[in-house]
C-alpha cells in the first residue's frame, strides 16, 4: 500500500497506519511542483540579490556574518553535513528512524525549504526500501533543529555515514553501490534544510504518543481486573459523581469502567468495606487526567508534523527568504515533558494497586500464594515495579526547563527537547512493564476469588492471558512470566 505525501493533513492515526501496514511513500504531483518551484525561486534569488542570505551564502550559527563564494556553496553544505554528525550514545530504534524519515519528507514537501526534488525522492527511496540510517540518541539541543541526529539521518544521501540494510549495518557508500544510486550532490541551502528541523524530537514524541494512547486503554482494562480481584466497589464510577466535575478524561474513564464491569458477579456482591484506597477509588480522576494530557499532546504534535521547521523559511509567493526560528523545539519540548508525567502516573498508581493486592487484605493471601512463608510468591514483582516507578519519577524532571547557550552565544536559548523526547520514550517503556506486573498480580489474585466470576470482557482478557502466563501455585522462577506479561500487554495495546 502507498501513502502519498501532499499538503493534506497528516494525523497521528495515519502515521500509525503507515507504520503498521508497511506503506510505501510517494510524492503527490502538487508536492513535487512545490519543491521544484521553491528550488527554482531560490536559484533566481541568488542571482539577483546582493545581500547575504543566511545559510545559503553565509556560514552558520555565529559564523553567519562570513560570506561564502558562489563556487564554494555546494562544499559549504557538504561540510555542514559532515561537521554536524556528532551524535553519540545508543542507537535510535529503527521504528523511530522510520518516523524521522517520514516527517523530514513531509516537512520538505511544503516547498518552503529550497531542496532539490531528487533529494526528497531519495529520502523516500530509503523509507520504501527499509534503508535505515544509523542515528544516535545524544547530541541535539532541540533548538537549531535536531542538528546532530538529522546529520546522521541524511549523511547517507551523500554516501557517508552508515545504514542498516538487509539486516546489517553497512557503510552508506556500499549501500548506494548495491542499489545503483549515485550520491546526491547538494546545492545551496540543502544541507541546512536537511539538518534544521524537529524530526528527531517529533519522531520520538509521536511514537510515544501512539504508545501512550494504547497504554491508557490497557491501564483501564488492567486496573479493572485489579479492582475485581481486590473486591472493589463500583460507586466511584457512577456517572453522577463525574457530572459534577466534568473533566472529559474523568468522564470517559468512568464510562469505560462501567462497561468493563457490566455483568460481573464480583462487583455486584455486597461489600463489607465502606470505601476503597485511592489507587482504586480515584482511577477515573487519575487515568482521566492522563487521557486529557494525551489528547493535548496529540494536538501539539499533530501541528508539528504538519509544519515546515527548517531555516531560512522560503516563501516564493511573497518573494521572501526569512531567517527565523521555526526549528526551535520549545512547543513540543514542553508537551513531551508533560506527556511523560501523564504516562508515569499510570505506572505510579498501578504500582500502588500491586501493593494493595499482595498486602493480605480482603480475603486474599499474603503475597498471593496459598502457603506464604515457605513461598515468597508475588513479594518481589512488587519490588521490581517499585524500582521502575522510582526510576521513572527521576526521568520526569522536565528537560525543557534547562538551557545551555551554544555557538558562541548566537544560539543562547535552547529547548532541550531532544532530551525530553528520549526521556519520554523511556517513561513509556517503563510504564508498560509496571502495568504488565500489575496484570501478573491481578490475574493471580482473581483466581483466589473463584468460583465467582467477573464480567465477560474481563474474564475473556484473563483467559487469553492465562494462555501465556500460568497461575503460580508455589515459588518458581518469575522473570520469564514478567517478560511474557510485557509481551501480552504490548498486544493488548493494539486492541
Q: Cα separation of 409 and 457, whole Å?
A: 59
Using DSSP's 3-state secondary structure scheme, residue 334 falls into helix
Q: Cα separation of 389 and 381, whole Å?
A: 12
- The DSSP bridge pattern shows strands 320-322 and 2-5 to be unpaired
Instruction: List the grid coordinates of 13.
Output: 492515526
Q: Cα separation of 357 and 226, whole Å?
A: 8
- Give me the residue label for grid cell 487521557: 291
Say how many C-beta atoms besides its own lie within 10 A of residue 177's C-beta: 12
Say which of 23, 41, 54, 204 is annotated catalytic.
Answer: 54
Q: Cα separation of 435 and 215, whole Å?
A: 9
Q: Cα separation of 143 and 37, whole Å?
A: 28
The verdict on whether 465 is a catalytic residue reads: no
Smallest Cα–Cα separation from 454: which of 442, 441, 467? 442
Angle CA(12)–CA(15)–CA(17) in degrees, nearest 5?
Answer: 110
Backbone angles phi, psi at 339, to 5 degrees: -65, -40
C-alpha Rg value of the chain to the nearest Å: 26
Consecutive H or E run containing 88: strand 88-91
Half-sphere exposure of residue 470: CA atoms within 13 angstroms, side-chain side: 8
Residue 59 backbone zone (phi > 0: left; psi -120 to 50: alpha; other: beta): beta
Give long-range contacts, CB 8 A cutoff, 24+ apart: 386-390: 386/351, 386/355, 388/347, 388/351, 388/430, 388/433, 388/434, 389/344, 389/347, 389/348, 389/351, 389/430, 389/434
Q: Cα separation of 107 and 103, whole Å?
A: 6
Q: Which residues are catalytic?
A: 54
Amino acid at each position: 500500500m502507498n501513502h502519498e505525501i501532499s499538503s493534506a493533513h497528516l494525523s497521528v492515526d495515519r502515521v500509525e497506519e503507515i507504520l503498521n501496514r508497511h506503506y510505501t511513500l510517494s510524492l503527490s504531483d502538487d508536492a513535487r511542483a512545490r519543491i521544484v518551484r521553491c528550488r527554482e525561486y531560490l536559484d533566481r534569488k541568488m542571482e539577483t540579490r546582493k545581500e547575504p542570505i543566511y545559510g545559503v551564502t553565509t556560514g552558520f550559527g555565529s559564523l553567519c556574518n562570513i560570506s561564502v563564494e558562489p563556487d564554494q556553496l555546494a562544499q559549504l553544505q557538504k561540510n555542514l553535513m559532515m561537521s554536524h554528525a556528532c551524535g553519540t550514545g545508543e542507537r535510535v530504534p529503527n521504528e523511530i528512524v522510520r518516523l524521522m524519515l517520514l516527517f523530514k519528507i513531509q516537512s520538505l514537501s511544503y516547498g518552503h525549504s529550497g531542496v532539490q526534488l531528487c533529494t526528497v525522492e531519495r529520502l523516500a527511496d530509503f523509507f520504501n526500501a527499509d534503508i535505515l540510517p544509523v542515528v544516535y540518541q545524544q547530541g541535539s539541543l532541540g533548538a537549531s533543529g535536531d542538528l546532530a541526529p538529522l546529520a546522521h539521518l541524511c549523511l547517507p544521501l551523500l554516501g557517508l555515514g552508515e545504514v542498516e540494510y538487509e539486516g546489517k549495518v553497512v557503510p552508506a557508500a556500499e549501500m548506494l553501490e548495491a542499489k545503483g544510486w549515485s550520491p546526491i550532490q547538494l546545492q545551496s541551502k540543502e544541507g541546512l534544510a536537511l539538518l534544521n528541523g524537529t524530526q528527531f524530537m517529533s519522531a520520538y514524541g509521536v511514537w510515544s504518543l501512539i504508545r501512550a494512547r494504547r497504554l491508557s486503554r490497557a491501564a483501564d482494562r488492567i486496573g479493572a481486573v485489579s479492582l475485581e480481584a481486590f473486591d472493589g466497589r463500583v460507586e466511584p464510577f457512577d456517572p453522577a459523581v463525574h457530572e459534577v466535575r466534568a473533566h472529559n478524561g474523568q468522564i470517559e474513564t468512568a464510562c469505560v469502567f462501567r462497561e468493563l464491569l457490566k455483568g460481573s458477579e464480583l462487583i455486584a456482591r455486597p461489600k463489607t468495606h465502606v470505601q476503597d484506597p485511592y489507587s482504586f477509588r480515584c482511577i477515573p480522576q487519575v487515568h482521566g487526567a492522563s487521557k486529557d494530557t494525551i489528547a493535548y499532546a496529540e494536538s501539539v504534535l499533530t501541528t508539528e508534523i504538519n509544519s515546515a521547521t527548517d531555516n531560512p523559511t522560503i516563501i516564493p509567493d511573497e518573494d521572501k527568504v526569512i531567517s527565523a526560528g521555526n526549528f526551535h523545539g520549545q512547543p513540543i519540548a514542553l508537551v513531551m515533558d508533560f506527556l511523560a508525567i501523564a504516562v508515569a502516573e499510570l505506572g505510579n498508581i498501578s504500582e500502588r494497586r500491586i501493593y494493595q493486592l499482595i498486602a493480605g487484605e480482603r480475603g486474599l493471601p499474603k503475597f498471593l500464594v496459598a502457603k506464604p512463608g515457605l513461598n515468597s510468591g508475588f513479594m518481589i514483582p512488587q519490588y521490581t515495579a517499585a524500582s521502575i516507578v522510582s526510576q521513572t519519577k527521576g526521568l520526569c524532571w522536565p528537560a525543557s526547563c534547562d538551557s545551555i547557550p551554544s555557538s558562541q552565544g548566537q544560539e543562547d536559548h535552547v529547548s532541550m527537547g531532544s532530551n525530553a523526547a528520549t526521556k519520554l520514550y523511556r517513561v513509556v517503556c517503563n510504564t508498560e512493564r509496571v502495568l504488565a506486573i500489575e496484570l501478573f498480580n491481578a490475574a493471580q489474585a482473581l483466581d483466589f476469588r473463584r468460583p465467582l466470576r467477573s464480567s465477560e470482557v474481563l474474564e475473556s482478557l484473563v483467559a487469553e492471558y492465562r494462555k501465556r502466563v500460568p497461575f503460580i501455585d508455589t515459588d518458581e522462577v518469575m522473570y520469564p512470566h514478567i517478560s511474557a506479561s510485557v509481551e501480552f500487554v504490548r498486544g493488548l495495546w493494539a486492541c
